[in-house]
Each structure stands twice: as structure tokens, then as C-alpha cells.
Chain A
């Protein structure tokens, strides 16, 4: 995996599960008939005895995984983020979050890229739902390398974690030396004029934007925030104090996700202007990923324009 390679994070996720399996003998994977799509199939082929095909029955999948966790196993429950965070949300709430059992949740097809499946399958509220859940850690990696590292970080963490993975190729921005620590953010670009805080697959787009803005004479501090909960409050407060203006960008609704989390911290500790880029309060549609990102103001050029208007 080299910087700039276009790789689907879901593939990195499936490979990481498979490759880490020998070191985590209690790891199991629970699937609801989407393993070729989420790429847990890679794990299933290598470790069929540790793979549980639960059928298209997400509610039973979540609770039976919780029950199994009481007996010492560590299930990774994997399905599309929309269904995990909504159809089975009560099961996550009562049987996973309240119990704090060691269950991992993979929200696949995070955000808008769903293979043109449209509004029923685009997960644009899952971070908001999971973030509001006590005891839940929410991790949204940026690229294939960080996705791989995030899988390990989730398995090493004792307790429930919601890991959001992306369907379609994203450029690799991190090298082998990247370290993902739950709760930490990472400054990927420095500048004097504006702070941009990004998460997930919007970070590679924000990095392109930061470099373009530099060429145009606008200095950006780009803070990548892979953990939405617990949020890195220190980095947010510092950005507010240093710049007085923050722009956030996420592959999620602007309500309740990264932008929501940042605004809560700012309101508590260091008020400043916050411009939230991301999916607005509406439902998604089918179409080409990049066309959709551009149409909804979520591509690099949109970030550049928004930053120039905001700074």
C-alpha cells in the first residue's frame, strides 16, 4: 500500500480482519448476508468456523453477538451502517451499549458511496445515532491504511466500538508509520489563516483542498479527527483559540456528526464561528459518487470555495 494508491477501505477492513485473526483467537465475525459487499468474506474464507452467517436478520444478529460476548468471544458484527445504526439500534442500545460488552460494530457503506443504491442505503445519520449512545466509541478512519490500523485499535479496545468503513476507493494518505490512537486527532497540514477539521474519507479531499489553498495564499491547519467519540476536545479548543474560525467537513449529515460534536465543544469551552460542510438535512440519491459529492458541496473544490468565502 503506497501513498496515492486508490484502494477501497472495505477491502482493507476485510484483509485486516483476516490478517489479525491469528493474534485474536476470540475474534468472530457476524454477518447478515452482505459479506461479499462488506468484504468480511475475506475472513469467512480463511476462518469459516469463526464466521457466523446470521441471515438477513440484523436484530437477532446484534443480540446473539452480545450473548456470545458474555461467554468470552469478541464478535465483530458487520452490516451496512444504515441497518446497524437504525434497524438494529435498539438492540445496540440495550444489549451492547448498556451492557458494555466487548462487541465491535462495523458500519459498512458509511456515508454517500453505496454503489448508486441511493437514499435507502446511504448512511448519513449513523454517526449521530452512535455518538449519542453512552459507552460507545465511534471511529471513522480516513483511508485504507488508517482503516487497517483502526481495526486493530478496535480489537485492542475493551468494550463496544462503532467502526465506520467506506465502500469505494479512497486515496492512501497515510504511510506504514501512522499510529491510530483512539481519542486522538492528527494535524496533517499547517497554516496561519484557518482551521479545517475533517473526518473519514473527507480527510483526503480536505488535504487536497489545503494544498490548493496554500497555493492561493491561504494557510490551513488541517486536523484529521478519526475518533468522533471520545472527541479530541483539546485540538478543537486549540483551533478555536488559534484561528477563531473552524470549517468542518464530513461524509455524513451536518446534524449530529463531526460538525455537531465540534459545535458542542466550542459552545462549552471556546466559542467561535464554525462552518459545517457535509451532507445537508435531506435524503441522498443514486448517482456517481464524485458527482454526488460535488452536487452536495463535499468535494475538494467545494472545500476550497467555502474556505475562501469563510476566511
Chain B
């Protein structure tokens, strides 16, 4: 799939993820919107997957370590064909297979449960180790939040993977600079981020997380490099990307838009209507 097609899909998923959060009146949009390009690139271009066969043994794996960003994750899985729009619309409802945080027991395409920050990246490490031990050659991707990088477990994982040169393990760090209650610099500064990963013996790449061509190119490069050891991509993004009043504001970490805000968001994200 080429870059304009990927961009078109991302424009659609942004709209859809806001729709399901508006409908459910709950869900985390800020970090879903910041990761939209990354998720599209992974599921429509980079990863070897088959939605018809979600448990395909040699598939590439993905773990949403920033597990609260299910609106973006589920919308991407729906768009890729893992389940229907009717199911997507049950997001966060009782009895739904689409719970607030990812559940591998319920949702096709979810390779690992997550939601308690710091754990997903660590589970992803285990999935990469399991593949290595099995002689498989799949790639394991984990999407990490920047606030999440304050969790000590992230650095336990980084230390193990770097020290043991774990192959085909790629972490994408969504550097949207905002967490639940503050900017990351105000809450607990995580910089110098690239230097930290380098110090843990990782290869570090950086890109503009909203430039689809750059995201794809960086992911492809990371995949190639990961045959020698773990790679982290620091993707510079904007929390709430695409909706003016959400962008860069911690207040939009985890609340739903009301009807008026929803209409405003839709008008901003639908070029025809915006004129």
C-alpha cells in the first residue's frame, strides 16, 4: 500500500476513533490520535499478518504497551478486517469483546493483554524471546507511551533486551510529550531519551510520527536493523493530533467529547465539511 493510501486510511481511522469514543462517552483519544499514523503503517504496510487467520504462527506480533489507547488500536484492527463495524461500535460496553484495555482472550488480533503501564513492552520482549527460542523469524513490535517510560519496568526490559541483543524486537515510543495530568516535562522529565536507550545498548531512530512516508521508512529501517538487536523508534508526535482543541493538552488524555466538541472535531477532520 502506498503512502497516499496509508494517509487516507489514517484520516478515516481518526474520524472513526473519535466516533466510538463519542458514542461510548469514554476512552482515551489524545494518545490514540498521536499514534494513528504509526498504527496504520504497522497494520497496513509493515507487519506480516492475516486478519482471516489472526493466530497465524509466523505472523508478526504487536503489543499496545500504552494499553489505554484502545480507540486507536481497535479502530485500526477493525479497518484491517479483524472484526466488523458493528463490533467496533460496542467499544467499552458490557459484554463487548472490545474492553477498555486490550484483552488477548477476547479480541481477535490482540497478541497480548496490557493496560498496566510498563508491562506490555516487557511481555513483547518475551514474545520476541519465544520466537527466537522457537527458531521463528517474526518481528515483535511494541508501542510505548512517553509517560509510560517513567515506569521502572520499561528500563528493566530495556536493560535485558540491550544486554542480550534480542533480535527482531522493535519498540516505537510515541513521544507526544503529554501524559494524564501534565506535560511529561512537568510531570517527570524523561529526557535525554535517545541517550538513555543508547546507554542501554539499543539502536535508536527518530522520526516525525505524523509524516507517513517518514514513519514507514523508519519502521522499515528499524526492521532491518533489528536483525542485529533491539531498536527503538522515538516518534515525535502531537497528543490529540488533528483536533485543534485537543492538540497538546493533557485535559484530552482520557475524556470523551460532548456533542458540540464532536461536531467541531468532525468538521476539522472532514476536509469537505471544513470549507
Is there contact, CB below 8 Å, between B105 and A72? no
B117-147: which have CB < 8 Å to A? 118-119, 122-131, 133-134, 136
How far is B159's CA from A288's CA once the two chains are assembled, in angstroms? 38
Chain B residues with CB under 8 Å of A99's CB are: 104-105, 112-113
- Chain B contact surface mostly: helix
Chain A residues with CB under 8 Å of B113's CB are: 94-95, 98-99
Is there contact, CB below 8 Å, between B156 and A57? yes
State the Cβ distance, B127 to closest chain A Cβ, in Å.
Answer: 4
- Residue B247, interface by CB 8 Å: no
Chain A residues with CB under 8 Å of B105's CB are: 98-100
Is there contact, CB below 8 Å, between A60 and B122? yes
Chain A residues with CB under 8 Å of B118's CB are: 59
Query: Pick the contact of A71 from B103, B130, B152, B153 — CB < 8 Å?
Result: B130
How far is B118's CA from A52's CA once the two chains are assembled, in angstroms? 20
Chain B interfacial positions (CB closer than 8 Å to A): 63, 103-105, 111-116, 118-119, 122-131, 133-134, 136, 152-153, 156-157, 159-160
Chain A residues with CB under 8 Å of B124's CB are: 67
Also in contact, A54 and B160, with CB within 8 A (given A59-B118, A67-B123, A68-B127): yes
Is there contact, CB below 8 Å, between B133 and A73? yes
Also in contact, A63 and B127, with CB within 8 A (given A70-B104, A98-B113): no
Is there contact, CB below 8 Å, between B114 and A70? no
A36-91: which have CB < 8 Å to B? 52, 54-55, 57, 59-60, 63-73, 90-91
How far is B10's CA from A69's CA once the two chains are assembled, in angstroms? 33
Q: Which residue of chain B is the closest to A100 with respect to CB atoms? A: B105
Chain B residues with CB under 8 Å of A63's CB are: 119, 122-123, 125-126, 153, 157
Chain A interfacial positions (CB closer than 8 Å to B): 28, 52, 54-55, 57, 59-60, 63-73, 90-91, 93-95, 98-100
How far is B112's CA from A98's CA once the two chains are assembled, in angstroms? 11
How far is B149's CA from A224's CA once the two chains are assembled, in angstroms? 47
14 A-B contacts, Cβ less than 8 Å apart? Answer: A52-B129, A60-B157, A60-B160, A63-B157, A64-B122, A65-B126, A67-B112, A68-B130, A69-B126, A70-B127, A71-B133, A72-B130, A73-B133, A98-B105
Q: A57-B160, A70-B112, A100-B105 are in contact. List 19 more A-B contacts (CB 8 A).
A: A55-B156, A59-B122, A60-B156, A60-B160, A65-B126, A67-B122, A67-B128, A70-B111, A71-B130, A73-B133, A73-B134, A90-B119, A91-B116, A91-B119, A91-B122, A91-B153, A94-B119, A98-B105, A99-B105
Is there contact, CB below 8 Å, between B129 and A67? yes
Chain A residues with CB under 8 Å of B127's CB are: 67-68, 70-71
How far is B123's CA from A70's CA once the two chains are assembled, in angstroms? 9
State the Cβ distance, A158 to closest chain B Cβ, in Å.
Answer: 14
How far is B124's CA from A66's CA once the two chains are assembled, in angstroms? 9
Q: Which residue of chain A is the closest to B158 with respect to CB atoms? A: A60
Chain B residues with CB under 8 Å of A59's CB are: 118-119, 122, 152-153, 156
Q: Which residue of chain B is the closest to A93 with respect to CB atoms? A: B116
Is there contact, CB below 8 Å, between B125 and A55? no
Also in contact, A64 and B157, with CB within 8 A (given A59-B152, A90-B116, A91-B119): yes
Q: Which residue of chain A is the closest to B129 with respect to CB atoms? A: A68
How far is B122's CA from A66's CA once the two chains are assembled, in angstroms? 9
Q: Which residue of chain B is the closest to A59 with respect to CB atoms? A: B153
Q: Which residue of chain A is the closest to B111 with respect to CB atoms? A: A70
Q: Which residue of chain B is the closest to A73 with respect to CB atoms? A: B130
Closest CB pairs A-B (n = 5): A67-B126, A71-B130, A64-B126, A63-B122, A60-B156
Is there contact, CB below 8 Å, between A71 and B134? yes
Is there contact, CB below 8 Å, between B160 and A64? yes
Query: Pick the contact of B134 from A54, A65, A72, A98 — CB < 8 Å?
Result: A72
State the Cβ distance, A74 to closest chain B Cβ, in Å.
Answer: 11
Query: Pick the contact of A55 from B114, B133, B159 — CB < 8 Å?
Result: B159
State the Cβ distance, A76 to closest chain B Cβ, in Å.
Answer: 14
How far is B112's CA from A69's CA once the two chains are assembled, in angstroms? 10
Chain A residues with CB under 8 Å of B133's CB are: 28, 68, 71, 73
State the Cβ distance, B134 to closest chain A Cβ, in Å.
Answer: 6
How far is B116's CA from A93's CA once the two chains are assembled, in angstroms? 10
